[in-house]
Structure 1
Amino acid sequence: MTNQTFIRAYLRASSEDQNANRAKTALTSFANERGRKVAAWYVENASGARAHRSELMRLIDDAEPGDVLLIEQVDRLTRLNKGDWEHLKGAIQTAGIRIVSLDLPTSHAAMTVSASDDFTGRMLDAVNAMLMDMLAAVARKDYDDRRRRQAEGIQQAKERGQYKGRPSDQKLHQRIRELRGQGLSVRKTADILGCSPSTVQRAIKAAQ
């Protein structure tokens, strides 16, 4: 791997009210400890079970062969079903991107292996592809299990007459109204608060 290889970090949060930038410090420190620097950040609020994510697709389009896709955990990249994961993995492999995940130690060597060391690179790719598939399957199972438990909990609450739906984050909504009142755009407000533009719009609509 040469010094020209880009480290492209991908940050994702599942819900619109979570901060996708939460892991930025950990990824920056991880790269710095290996004498590298994150060259580009791709941040979005989207479900890992959704096949099309605009920032992830932009990362793949921007990447050159040998670039590193840096993530905090495999489930930040995928909670996809098997078919969608195979499609995404194929796109990543076609682009020549190597995935490095903080929770997959065997992938860390991809940060420092020389691009001229073809044998080591291919061995790493083979091992990590297998482990990545396993972790992707675990991430999907965790997603399905949580959805099932959530649905069961909602059903039980409905049967008891206690289900009131998902409460809004009043503190976040208050900050949104304050920033918008200062004249900040929807996009700028979302960037500052680490939420999605749709969350900003929903908070404004709720206040009307």
Structure 2
Amino acid sequence: MSEIRHYGYIRVSTKDQNEARQLEAMQDLGIMERDYFIDKKSGKNFDRPQYQALKNVLRKGDILFIKELDRLGRNAEEIKREWQDITHEIGAHIVILDMPILDTRQYHNGLEKVISSIVLELLSYMAEREREKINGRQNEGIAAAKNNGVVFGRPKQAISDDFIMVYEEWKQGSITAVEAMRRVEMKPNTFYRRVKEYEQQKQVG
């Protein structure tokens, strides 16, 4: 049986000044410098080469220490995916130092699956809330833009004389719908949509 290894993961941004705090936490646990992985994010870049390297060395039974849950990902959906990958696919333990309940080592006889399920459900809820907030902001932005006269969607194309001529022949029964579509080079959905638009224009006119 291979030796159980202890690893630490640290992620910091240029605005984040808690690298020292995270490092101190790893050192207090006795994790050797070679066994903790540090990613530094700058601006919008979220590449995590050290995190990927860490996942490549993690083995079943190993223990991964992380100071805070949000170090695992940018949002709840990503955190959920990484939690599942590490605990279920790799079979390693995760210990979140700032949340003692999130220590998969302390759960046995199936309880580890229960706690993982609770965590994943919580993260799913958080992810859904995040999506609702984003959608809400988008809808507010669209509504504000419309109030300012911004038009969304593809602009309608003008009905061509060729289309009108073919339309009239089709309506009179001189040609079939298939022949009409062939002549105007339109797919069925497009053809019938244009027919509807033209007929609406005629009614208004």
Compute the TM-score of the two structures, normalised by the length of structure 2: 0.48
Higher relative contact order (CA 8 A, sep 6+): 1
Compute the TM-score of the two structures, normalised by the length of structure 1: 0.48
Which has more radius of gyration?
2
